[in-house]
Amino acid sequence: MCTLLFALLSLSPTHAATELSRLKVSDNHRFLVTADGKSFFYLADTAWELIHRSNREDAEKYLKKRSEQGFTVIQAVVLAEFDGLTEPNAYGHLPLKSNDPTQPQESYFEHVDWVLKTANELGLYIGMLPTWGDKVNKKWGGGPEIFTPENARIFGEYLGKRYKNQGIIWILGGDRPVEKPVHLAIWKAMASGLRTGDAGTHLITYHPMGGTRSRMYFTGDDDILDFHTQQNGHNIDTPVSERIARDYQATPIKPILDMEPLYEGHPIDFKVKEKGHSNAADIRKFAYWSVFSGSCGHTYGHHSVWQMYSPHRKPINAPIAYWEEAVNFPGANQMIHLRKLMESKPYLTRIPAQELVVEPSAGGKRIVATKDQAGTYAMIYIPTSRSFEARTGILPARQLQVTLFDPRTGESKDQGRIDNAPDHVHRFTLPNNGENQDWVIILDAIIPK
């Protein structure tokens, strides 16, 4: 049996791909960078069912759109959540023979190959989940449990070897609880197999359940995960900035990311009749809260897109549009403004700077701030059009250039200069255009010539 399994691994094709730079963790352990040290902003879209449900025409249409919108990563699953083991893909192929992870079906993985190659050619990395968990219950549909530590290692090695040269970030977990020691052993074994198969070429992280963090399971100096994640879930009142700040301050230091925040068009708290669906303003707050509080990027999602909802699909939890319409919803088009804003300033020296805000408020009104270590710039995110005070004296410059940035459009407006001094507190007044009008104040140090 072992001889046959290792033969399978050795015969797995290694596919050439469009060259995307290898990603690694920055020297200060806070960010992701390319192989030559250039900053990489993790801006992902959630397309969990892309490989399982989409044909190539639709997949290409979707990937082109997300590339045009400035995303850098697409999160997708090999063994999908909704009947991924028993419902064939768009071409009638199942991923495994007899639900055995040591017997992957070549016909299915040829489609995986195509999706990866197409995404890479468009400049997109795939945040690839080998499987959407393993502990499956009736609520989520499907089953059975198919992984053991032994076959998880073999499956991981198969994937790692097959996609060694692709632009991938491996994501373990798949939104499932670690209920027993064997479940954690499975993830660690799969990670070991991935490392063996791709010779450590790709980053590895973990996608936890809603309201939890990867640090709950991978602790101390465990080097299995290159960066940590959270799933802050689908409630508009989640204290995202506080949760990100907690992991940012934890040791050992590793990059932190919210891998599943509130999706656009999602039933709030899964209670559509009571609370309705989320909108773009809700989604922007999660994004800016996370990044300004220390995350190395952000994950966007639309409730209709992750499930690739279409006229011939059964809706999952009240989606509000088909995926082809949903890819153009405002929140998706506004994520590029966040990326461009963060890339417009020195990136690898950026730190959270909550001490800038005198009264940060709470809940959906919370104001968050970030700056670079030397204080050459600072940014303050204000989710509603309200006046606030900032301790600008924390910044060393005697004068500051003030710019008003609109997260909805990406437009900036010069607000002139203000004088500054140690212990100075400045009051900023924002345009009063409504409760869903969020803003960023940018402060740039004026350096005397």
- Supply the angle between the helices 240-249 and 280-292 in degrees, to the nearest 10: 20
Number of domains observed in the structure of the chain:
2
- Indicate the SS3 state at residue 381: strand
Residue whose tokens read 């220390």 = 294
Residue 383 inside a domain? The answer is yes
Same domain, residue pair 65 and 199: yes
Same domain, residue pair 231 and 286: yes
CB 46 within 8 A of CB 73: no
Same domain, residue pair 338 and 362: no
Separation between Cα atoms, residue 272 and residue 282, nearest integer Å: 15
Same domain, residue pair 284 and 369: no
Residue 387 inside a domain? The answer is yes
What would the pLDDT profile of 297-325 be if each residue is shown by its tens digit?
Answer: 999 999 999 999 999 999 999 999 999 99
What would the pLDDT profile of 36-60 be if each residue is shown by its tens digit?
Answer: 999 999 999 999 999 999 999 999 9
pTM over 0.85? The answer is yes
Separation between Cα atoms, residue 431 and residue 438, nearest integer Å: 10
Instruction: Please give the share of the chain, as a percent, with pLDDT higher than 70.
Output: 93
pLDDT at residue 328 is higher than 60: yes
Separation between Cα atoms, residue 119 and residue 115, nearest integer Å: 6
- In the listed set 314, 343, 372, which residue is the last one of a domain according to the structure? 343
CA nearest 151: which of 97, 88, 82, 199?
A: 97
* Structure confidence at residue 134 as a pLDDT band (50, 70, 90): low
What would the pLDDT profile of 173-218 be if each residue is shown by its tens digit?
Answer: 988 888 889 999 999 999 999 999 999 999 999 999 989 999 999 9
Same domain, residue pair 106 and 173: yes
Residue 438 CA from chain centroid, whole number: 22
CB 84 within 8 A of CB 132: yes
Same domain, residue pair 253 and 362: no
CB 423 within 8 A of CB 379: no
- In the listed set 343, 374, 392, which residue is the last one of a domain according to the structure? 343
pLDDT at residue 12 is higher than 50: no
pLDDT at residue 251 is higher than 70: yes
Instruction: Please give the pLDDT value at position 135.
Output: 53
Same domain, residue pair 272 and 362: no
Tokens of 132: 């959407």
Separation between Cα atoms, residue 391 and residue 381, nearest integer Å: 14
Residue 335 inside a domain? The answer is yes
Separation between Cα atoms, residue 108 and residue 96, nearest integer Å: 8
Say which amino acid occupies 208.
P
pLDDT at residue 245 is higher than 60: yes
Say which amino acid occupies 304.
S
Q: How many residues does the chain have?
A: 449
Residue 348 inside a domain? The answer is no
Instruction: Please give the pLDDT value at position 219.
Output: 84
Residue 46 inside a domain? The answer is yes
* Structure confidence at residue 221 as a pLDDT band (50, 70, 90): low
pLDDT at residue 400 is higher than 80: yes
pLDDT at residue 81 is higher than 60: yes
Same domain, residue pair 331 and 412: no
What would the pLDDT profile of 102-114 be if each residue is shown by its tens digit?
Answer: 999 999 999 999 9
pLDDT at residue 136 is higher than 60: no
Q: Report the C-alpha dihedral over residues 175, 180, 184, 185, rounded to 10 degrees.
A: -140
What is the radius of gyration, based on Cα positions, of the chain? 22
Residue 426 β-bridge partners: 390
Q: What is the mean pLDDT of residues 111-120?
A: 98
Residue 240 inside a domain? The answer is yes
Separation between Cα atoms, residue 203 and residue 229, nearest integer Å: 13
CA nearest 53: which of 98, 88, 86, 99?
A: 88
Pairing of strands 125-131, 73-79: parallel
Q: What is the mean pLDDT of residues 9-28?
A: 69
Residue 426 inside a domain? The answer is yes
Q: What is the mean pLDDT of residues 164-176?
A: 94
pLDDT at residue 15 is higher than 70: no
* Structure confidence at residue 374 as a pLDDT band (50, 70, 90): very high
Residue 289 inside a domain? The answer is yes
Instruction: Please give the pLDDT value at position 432.
Output: 81
Q: What is the mean pLDDT of residues 77-100?
A: 95
Mean pLDDT of the chain: 92
Instruction: Please give the pLDDT value at position 143.
Output: 62
- In the listed set 343, 375, 391, which residue is the last one of a domain according to the structure? 343
Residue 207 CA from chain centroid, whole number: 9
We report the CATH number of the domain holding residue 392 as: 2.60.40
Q: What is the DSSP code (8-state) at residue 107?
A: H
User: Who's near 144: CB < 8 A, 6+ residues apart?
Assistant: 99, 136
Residue 159 CA from chain centroid, whole number: 21
Residue 79 β-bridge partners: 131
Same domain, residue pair 285 and 231: yes
Same domain, residue pair 370 and 234: no
Same domain, residue pair 339 and 357: no
Separation between Cα atoms, residue 295 and residue 350, nearest integer Å: 10
Q: Which domain holds residue 366?
A: 353-445
Same domain, residue pair 21 and 55: yes
Instruction: Please give the share of the chain, as a percent, with pLDDT higher than 90.
Output: 85
